[in-house]
Structures are given as C-alpha cells and as structure tokens.
Amino acid sequence: MKKVIIVGAGIAGLTAGIYALQSGFDVTIYESHTIPGGACTSWCRKGYLFEGAMHWLTGSSPKTSLNKLWREVSALDDSVNIYNRDPFYTFEHNGQRA
Ligand SMILES: Cc1cc2nc3c(=O)[nH]c(=O)nc-3n(C[C@H](O)[C@H](O)[C@H](O)COP(=O)(O)OP(=O)(O)OC[C@H]3O[C@@H](n4cnc5c(N)ncnc54)[C@H](O)[C@@H]3O)c2cc1C
C-alpha cells in the first residue's frame, strides 16, 4: 500500500487524510500540538468553553460546493442543525454565490 505523510492535523490536514484514506493510501498525520484540530480547537478552562477560531462553518449552506466536502468528511450530516443568519459575508466559488 502506498503511504502518505501529512504534516499538521488542522482541518486541511485532517481532510486531506480522510480523502487519502478513502483513496486507499496508508496515512500518517504528524501534529506538533497535543491534540488535533489546529485553529478549530476548543478547550475548557474554569467552567468556560473557549473556541479558538471557528464560530460558524464556512460552506455549511447546501448551496455551496464546500457543503459536499464537509459531508464527505463527516463534518456535517443530517443530524446537524444549520442556522442561517442574515448574511454579512458571502461565499463565491466558480461564479456560484451563496
Ligand atoms: C480567530 C479566527 C477565527 C476564525 N473563525 C472562523 C469561522 O468562524 N468560520 C470558519 O469557517 N473559519 C474560521 N476561521 C478560519 C479557520 O479556523 C481556518 O481557516 C482553518 O482552521 C485553517 O485550517 P488549516 O488546517 O489550514 O490550518 P491550522 O488550523 O492552522 O492547522 C495547521 C496545523 O498544523 C500544525 N503544524 C504546523 N506546523 C507543524 C509542523 N512543523 N509539524 C507538525 N504540525 C505542525 C499546527 O499545530 C496545526 O494544528 C478563523 C480563524 C481564526 C484565526
């Protein structure tokens, strides 16, 4: 089996790892932190939950091509409620806007 080595277990490295595994590669991800997630990591301190970065998921709208990717890597599925707020930010890819 061919091997793939990925440096960094942020959302990009984890996603690349899932796609490589699904494509039949033997995958190893190296992460310098003690936990995976990169900028998406959250942690608890003195009873409070701190979100390092993610406050909404870019591409959660089914109108975007990113939505398909999130579903393929199981970050989204039908059990996840998506709340659409008034847009202050627009995602555009290949001329498609959502
Ligand atoms: C304050 C803030 C708020 C944000 N809010 C949102 C939001 O609300 N919605 C949204 O969709 N996006 C948001 N983003 C963007 C989103 O968090 C990032 O785009 C995304 O997490 C980046 O993922 P990544 O895998 O590319 O990089 P990272 O998450 O940075 O992951 C890189 C990983 O590689 C590891 N690494 C680096 N060098 C090495 C090495 N030499 N050896 C081993 N490991 C290494 C790091 O420790 C890290 O875990 C926000 C970002 C920030 C900073």
Contact 63, 98 (CB under 8 A): yes
Per-domain residue ranges for the chain?
1-39, 56-98
* Atom 20 (ligand 1) nearest CA: 39
Give, in degrees to the nearest 5, the angle at Cα 62 between 72 and 10. 45
- At 87 the pLDDT is 67
Please, what are the averages of pLDDT over each run of 10 residues along the chain (98 residues)? 97 97 97 94 92 84 88 92 76 79
- At 26 the pLDDT is 98
* Atom 18 (ligand 1) nearest CA: 39
Give, in degrees to the nearest 5, the angle at Cα 13 between 50 and 40. 10
Q: Tell me how far the alpha carbon of residue 10 lies from the centroid of ligand 1, in angstroms.
A: 5
- At 76 the pLDDT is 92
- At 9 the pLDDT is 98
- At 73 the pLDDT is 93
Integer Cα distance of 82 and 78 in angstroms = 9
Task: Kindly list the protein residues whose Cβ atom lies closer than 6 A to any atom of ligand 1.
Answer: 7-13, 30-33, 38-40, 53-58
CA distances from 63 to 54, 96, 98 (A): 20, 9, 6
* Atom 21 (ligand 1) nearest CA: 39
